[in-house]
């Protein structure tokens, strides 16, 4: 049988047509990615630790919101649970979805890779102690979510067809206009819209597609398996794009209908799996907690000491729950309500579920392995091979690989 140069096997093979296109695209975007990363994640050295200014800004903002609203993330939990339960839904109110569906739509964009790969990176770079700082950042992030999602509903636009347009683009424009800064508001809204678009494409979609492919490739035989060729990435990506397109083409109502069923089951399955692993290794759980608490305040081998491991935990938490980034406010703005603050209460649950619950489960699962005698304070896993130190300086580093075998973080 003669070889067909246009066959799928040839196109997807290493050095084939698709592989060559991938290489060309990668070479074109690498310099742009590096330049944007260096600008957005500009760091300053404090006490021997490289501190990204954007992470510092997010944490300072969260602390200010926490104090200003008198620890609303603790006082408002009961109200949030009542709202999510549907007891106070407003079916006739402006909007597209219920409180519960708005929450699951937002959570669907945060629960996942940041809770698994992100925690692995945090523990690898900062030791088990980074987990404690991730939890603290998650609790502080609840206040940020309360503020940004309340503003998102307050300043949203309800269109004639009943659809909703909301998010930072709206509350920057309208909120600053109310304070006599209309021109500044428009400039900031446009700038944010451009930045969040690039963030969604690169930090969100590209990173998640890359991680999904890496995991599927790993369990299907790695380099020698069905997805072992370079061109298989493009084919896999096209498949994911088609599946996602079927979900999002119907707008917010379609997205929330899927996430309302998928997110709770996804979270429960993952927590149950973590519980099984922790249960099997229950004798190691106390030493895991000791390693987490001791590592948070007495880290070993981490640049910058306590501050260094704190920054690692904070930046991984920001990657995980996206508190303060404004992306969640876009989804929460579609809620059916006449009282914007109600969605602020509901949104607070997002960082708690995402970071405090899921991230903690992941950390305990990875840290509860039986430690070697006398080595309980050791990092739960060594630094991955070929993992550049610079990878620890950004929230999301989709173009950098930290590899352990065929897994990509």
Give the DSSP per-residue string, 254-315: HHHHHHHHHHHHHHHHHHHHHHHHHHHTGGGHHHHHHHHHHHHHS-SS-TTHHHHHHHHHHH
pLDDT of 344 over the 90 cut: yes
Q: Give the confidence band of 177 by pLDDT, cuts at 50, 70, 90.
A: very high
How many contiguous H segments (helices) and E segments (strands) does the chain have? 18, 6
Q: Three-state SS for 395?
A: coil
Pairing of strands 43-46, 49-52: antiparallel
Residue 148: the pLDDT is: 93
For residue 278, with 0-12 CB atoms within 10 Å meaning exposed, 13-18 middle and 19 or more buried, which class applies? Answer: middle
Sign of the C-alpha dihedral computed for residues 118, 321, 247 and 83 taken in this order: positive
- Crossing angle of helices 130-154/285-297, nearest 10°? 80
pTM for this structure? Answer: 0.76
Residues whose CB falls within 8 Å of the CB of residue 154, separated by 6 or more in sequence, listed in order: 171, 340
- Mean of pLDDT values over 236-244: 87
Q: Three-state SS for 51?
A: strand
Dihedrals phi, psi of 351, to nearest 5 degrees: -65, -30
Q: What is the mean pLDDT of the chain?
A: 78
Q: Go through the chain and tell me how many residues it has.
A: 409
Q: CA separation (Å) from 262 to 109, 265, 266?
A: 12, 5, 6
Tens digit of pLDDT for each residue in 284-341?
A: 888 888 888 888 887 665 555 677 777 878 877 877 778 888 888 988 998 999 999 9
Which residue(s) pair with 45 in the sheet? 50
Q: Three-state SS for 159?
A: coil
Residues whose CB falls within 8 Å of the CB of residue 239, separated by 6 or more in sequence, listed in order: none
Determine the Cα–Cα distance for residues 383 and 304; give it in Å rounded to an integer: 17
Sign of the C-alpha dihedral computed for residues 59, 65, 71 and 72 taken in this order: negative
Tens digit of pLDDT for each residue in 198-218?
A: 877 776 777 778 878 888 888
The residue ranges of every structural domain in the chain are: 25-408
Whole-number percent of the chain with pLDDT over 70: 82
């Amino acid at each position: 049988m003669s070889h067909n140069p246009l066959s799928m096997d040839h196109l997807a093979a290493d050095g084939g047509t698709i592989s060559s296109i991938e290489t060309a695209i990668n070479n074109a975007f690498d310099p742009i990615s590096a330049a944007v990363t260096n600008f957005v994640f500009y760091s300053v050295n404090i006490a021997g630790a490289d501190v990204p200014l954007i992470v510092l800004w997010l944490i300072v903002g969260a602390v200010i919101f926490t104090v200003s609203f008198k620890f609303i993330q603790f006082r408002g939990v009961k109200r949030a649970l009542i709202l999510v339960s549907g007891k106070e839904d407003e079916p006739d109110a402006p909007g597209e979805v219920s409180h519960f569906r708005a929450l699951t739509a937002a959570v669907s964009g945060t629960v996942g890779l940041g809770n698994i790969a992100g925690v692995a990176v945090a523990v690898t770079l900062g030791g088990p102690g980074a987990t404690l700082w991730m939890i603290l950042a998650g609790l502080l992030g609840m206040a940020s979510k309360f503020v940004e999602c309340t503003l998102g509903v307050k300043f949203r636009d309800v269109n004639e067809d009943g659809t909703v347009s909301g998010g930072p683009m709206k509350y920057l424009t309208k909120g600053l206009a109310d304070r006599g800064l209309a021109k500044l508001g428009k400039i900031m809204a446009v700038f944010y819209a451009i930045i969040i678009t690039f963030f969604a494409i690169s930090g969100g979609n590209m990173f998640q597609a890359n991680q999904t492919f890496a995991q599927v490739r790993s369990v299907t035989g790695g380099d020698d398996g069905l997805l072992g060729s370079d061109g298989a990435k493009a084919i896999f990506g096209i498949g994911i794009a088609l599946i996602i397109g079927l979900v999002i083409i119907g707008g917010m109502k379609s997205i929330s209908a899927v996430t309302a069923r998928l997110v709770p089951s996804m979270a429960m399955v993952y927590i149950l799996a973590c519980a099984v692993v922790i249960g099997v290794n229950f004798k190691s759980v106390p030493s895991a907690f000791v390693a987490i608490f001791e590592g948070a305040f007495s880290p070993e081998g981490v640049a910058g000491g306590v501050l260094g491991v704190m920054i690692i935990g904070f930046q991984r938490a920001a990657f995980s729950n996206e508190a303060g980034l404004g992306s969640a406010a876009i989804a929460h703005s579609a809620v059916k309500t006449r009282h914007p603050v109600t969605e602020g209460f509901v949104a607070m649950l997002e960082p708690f579920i995402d970071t405090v619950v899921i991230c903690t489960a992941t950390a305990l699962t990875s840290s509860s392995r039986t430690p070697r005698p006398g080595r309980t304070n050791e990092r739960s896993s060594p630094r991955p091979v070929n993992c550049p130190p610079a990878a620890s300086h950004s929230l999301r580093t989709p173009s950098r690989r930290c590899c352990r075998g065929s897994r990509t973080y």
